[in-house]
């Protein structure tokens, strides 16, 4: 639907026109972009496929068929069709589509090279071409969700000539093109191929007229007080200031998510929200120098705020005006703990002793010491920023203190910290989590006799290691989509490359695992130590999980049950890796909470 000042002007059923399949409304490929003239709309949809021929009751091999039937379609019904993995199982072959509102016509754009899957498209400054992100998908697709290391580039497709031109680096991972208001500059994010599945990114800028690119902000190895690097998956759709020189974006900065103002000419960064009490700021839009954002904290749900961006050089202090405010939730306080690992005697190049952080949410009910629930995050290259998380606040209101651990390898602490985890999963991340627990027990009013673990994915991998290391330490454990057997994920995960990279091994598409590599993966897996586990374990898995097969939990469930460990398995038939959706999330939260209350 298209609406204007006088009401609805157009209503089009795009799929019913028969030019393409399902429209992409979310995810890494999706877009909806106006032309400068506001007469055409650009979007991405699934390429249409020929409908399978209904079976004929007299389908005799070799018998004559109607002439209009395509011989090539015979036997095609059950051919395997690749998709883009976890959370993108209905995304296979995206196509760029243009809807002409004046001419009442819809076209699927031609000229995108066959080896690319296009997305994140926008019109070029003159409306005569399209800028898009193209992901290489040969020889096969790897999972794209939460992976900023996939080969991709920024392309320009000239609609008149059909010529497609690569604007970014040949061998890089580029995304999120954003054109300046004056049409002269194009901002985009760029990362390296392979290695960590998420990483610190570069902010690049292309001058449209000359096609020359420069790096505005480079990868940050070691964070400074002023700037810790860029880790956002995308730039805001509208991030440019009216002067076409400055841009605003949100990104993790240690255990916060802050709004940063970037001067693209001076290559400087100003943190617009550092030191403010809310720990998470997200930019919704920036139009006519009006910033619209949300802010939240572990004890405060998101509220809507606006601010006017002052002239260059006068940005601070910024005056934020609440539009829709939300009160803080009673019964919850929070703080950030800084944890310093002991020096390991390694060379400084290994960054072995870099500090990390943990967020501690505590009840204010005066019944200390409180039981402690330890939560290492998944990923592993992710971060617990200081945002509102309803489940954490609810557990806190029920009397639990919550420790959210950003072990080394988390986003927001520099690329050196991310790299430090490669080849050390199951060791450094486990030791860091335990170190954070010990520091919290020493410094806060917590009950060391009532400890539990609550985690998902790689966080569950860490939790299982902790259960095996100290069988008597934790009284309860509730896990979602757990990783328990690294070797078994090689043939079942949508990101087999990460199985190698996590152990510091090189990956190539044609790679076949060697016996010693499989052995190393198994030795680093919690399943190899499962005989040591004594703690009651709750497992929650989605049957449609493409990232971590639910058979990981099933194997663990059987081993623990056989050894007499109290174990319960919840199997969600329609659930994916994130176990998302209102009904599923509510059931997972309810079961995990009851498990913790019962065993603590």
Whichever domain contains 499, its CATH number is 3.40.50.1820
571 vs 539: CA distance, rounded Å: 8
Residues in the chain predicted with pLDDT less than 50, given as ranges, are 347-351
CATH of the domain at 41: 2.130.10.10
237 and 336 both lie in a single domain: no
The pLDDT score that the predictor gives to residue 196 is 97
377 vs 409: CA distance, rounded Å: 11
76 vs 49: CA distance, rounded Å: 11
Last residue of a domain, one of 217, 233, 258: 217
Six-digit token pair at 403?
């420790």
Name the 3-class secondary structure at 412: coil
188 and 252 both lie in a single domain: no
Q: 111 near 157, Cβ under 8 Å?
A: yes
487 and 359 both lie in a single domain: yes
The pLDDT score that the predictor gives to residue 352 is 53
510 and 420 both lie in a single domain: yes
When divided into structural domains, the chain yields a total of 3
Active-site hit among 299, 465, 577, 599? 577
Residue 62 belongs to some domain of the structure: no
End-to-end CA distance of the chain: 53
The pLDDT score that the predictor gives to residue 350 is 47
211 and 272 both lie in a single domain: no
237 and 201 both lie in a single domain: no
Which phi and psi (to 5°) does residue 436 adopt?
-65, -40
Cα-trace Rg, the chain: 26
Instruction: Please enumerate in sequence order all residues whose Cβ is within 8 A of that of 194, keeping only pairs 6 or more positions apart, or say none.
Output: 149, 497, 501, 507
Last residue of a domain, one of 166, 182, 217: 217
Residue 73 belongs to some domain of the structure: no
Residue 296 belongs to some domain of the structure: yes
433 and 558 both lie in a single domain: yes
408 and 322 both lie in a single domain: no
12 and 145 both lie in a single domain: yes
Residue 63 belongs to some domain of the structure: no
Last residue of a domain, one of 190, 217, 244: 217
| Inter-residue long-range contacts of 229-232, CB under 8 Å, 24+ positions, other chains counted | 229/200, 229/201, 229/412, 229/414, 229/415, 230/189, 230/200, 230/201, 230/202, 230/203, 231/198, 231/199, 231/200, 231/201, 231/383, 231/411, 231/412, 232/189, 232/201
Residue 43 belongs to some domain of the structure: yes
Active-site hit among 362, 545, 549, 599? 545
Instruction: Please enumerate in sequence order all residues whose Cβ is within 8 A of that of 78, keeping only pairs 6 or more positions apart, or say none.
Output: none
Residue 553 belongs to some domain of the structure: yes
Q: 246 near 269, Cβ under 8 Å?
A: no
**Burial per residue of 264-286, b for 16 or more beta-carbon CB atoms within 10 angstroms, e otherwise:** beeeebbbbbeebebbbbbbeeb
The pLDDT score that the predictor gives to residue 8 is 96
Residue 66 belongs to some domain of the structure: no
Active-site hit among 145, 457, 481, 493? 457
The pLDDT score that the predictor gives to residue 67 is 54
529 vs 523: CA distance, rounded Å: 9
496 vs 489: CA distance, rounded Å: 7
Q: 130 near 79, Cβ under 8 Å?
A: no
pLDDT, tens digit, 9 for 90 and up, residues 242-255:
999 999 999 999 99
Instruction: Please enumerate in sequence order all residues whose Cβ is within 8 A of that of 21, keeping only pairs 6 or more positions apart, or say none.
Output: 15, 45, 46, 47, 48, 49
Query: Which pTM was predicted?
Result: 0.95
Instruction: Print the domain residue range for 308.
Output: 220-328
Is 457 assigned a catalytic role? yes
116 vs 311: CA distance, rounded Å: 41
Residue 59 belongs to some domain of the structure: no
Is 545 assigned a catalytic role? yes
232 and 190 both lie in a single domain: no
The pLDDT score that the predictor gives to residue 349 is 45
130 and 189 both lie in a single domain: yes
The pLDDT score that the predictor gives to residue 77 is 86
91 and 107 both lie in a single domain: yes
């Amino acid at each position: 639907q298209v609406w204007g000042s006088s009401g609805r002007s157009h209503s089009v059923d795009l799929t019913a026109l028969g030019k393409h399949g399902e429209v992409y409304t979310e995810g890494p490929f999706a877009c909806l972009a106006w032309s400068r003239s506001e007469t055409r709309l650009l979007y991405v949809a699934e390429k249409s496929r020929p409908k399978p021929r209904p079976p004929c009751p007299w389908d005799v091999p070799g018998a004559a068929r109607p002439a209009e039937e395509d011989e090539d379609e015979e036997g095609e019904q059950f051919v395997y069709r690749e998709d883009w993995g976890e959370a993108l199982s209905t995304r296979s072959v995206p196509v760029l589509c243009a809807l002409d509102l004046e001419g009442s016509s819809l076209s699927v754009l031609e000229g995108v090279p066959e080896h690319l899957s296009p997305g994140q498209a926008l019109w070029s400054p003159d409306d005569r071409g399209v800028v898009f992100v193209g992901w290489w998908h040969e020889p096969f697709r790897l999972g794209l969700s939460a992976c900023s290391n996939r080969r991709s580039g920024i392309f320009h497709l000239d609609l008149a000539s059909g010529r497609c031109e690569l604007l970014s680096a040949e061998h890089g991972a580029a995304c999120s093109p954003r054109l300046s208001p004056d049409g002269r500059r194009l901002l985009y994010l760029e990362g390296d191929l392979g290695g960590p599945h998420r990483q610190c990114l570069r902010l690049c800028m292309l001058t449209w007229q000359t096609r020359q690119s420069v790096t505005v902000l480079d990868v940050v190895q070691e964070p400074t007080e002023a700037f810790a690097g860029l880790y956002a998956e995308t730039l805001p759709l509208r991030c440019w200031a009216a002067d076409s020189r400055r841009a605003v974006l949100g990104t993790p900065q240690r255990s916060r998510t802050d709004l940063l103002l970037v001067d693209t000419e001076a290559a400087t960064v100003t943190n617009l929200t550092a030191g403010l009490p809310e720990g998470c700021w997200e930019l919704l839009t920036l139009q006519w120098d009006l910033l619209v954002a949300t802010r939240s904290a572990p004890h405060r749900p998101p509220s809507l705020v606006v601010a006017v961006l002052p002239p260059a050089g006068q940005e601070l202090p910024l005056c934020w005006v609440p539009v829709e405010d939300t009160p803080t939730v009673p019964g919850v306080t929070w703080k950030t703990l800084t944890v310093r690992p002991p020096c390991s005697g390694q060379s400084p190049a290994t960054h072995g002793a870099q500090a990390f952080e943990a967020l501690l949410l505590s009840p204010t009910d005066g019944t200390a010491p409180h039981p402690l629930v330890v939560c290492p995050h998944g990923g592993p290259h992710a971060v617990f920023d200081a945002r509102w998380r309803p489940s954490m606040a609810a557990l806190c209101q029920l009397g639990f203190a919550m420790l959210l651990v950003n072990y080394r390898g988390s986003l927001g602490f520099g690329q050196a910290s991310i790299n430090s985890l490669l080849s050390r999963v199951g060791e450094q991340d486990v030791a860091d989590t335990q170190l954070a627990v010990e520091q919290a027990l020493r410094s806060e009013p917590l009950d060391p006799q009532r400890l539990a673990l609550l985690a998902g994915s790689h966080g569950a991998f860490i939790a299982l290691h902790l259960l095996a290391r100290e069988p008597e330490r934790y009284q309860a454990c509730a896990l979602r989509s757990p990783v328990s057997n690294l070797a078994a994920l090689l043939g079942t995960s949508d990101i087999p490359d990460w199985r190698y990279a996590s152990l510091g091994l090189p990956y190539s598409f044609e790679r076949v695992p060697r016996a010693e590599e499989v052995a190393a993966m198994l030795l680093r897996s919690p399943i190899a130590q499962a005989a040591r586990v004594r703690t009651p374990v709750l497992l929650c898995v989605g049957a449609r999980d493409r990232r971590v097969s639910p058979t990981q939990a099933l194997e663990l469930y059987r081993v623990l049950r056989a050894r007499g460990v109290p174990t319960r398995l919840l199997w969600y038939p329609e659930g994916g890796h994130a176990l998302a959706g209102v009904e599923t999330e509510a059931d997972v939260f309810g079961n995990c909470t009851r498990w913790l209350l019962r065993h603590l």
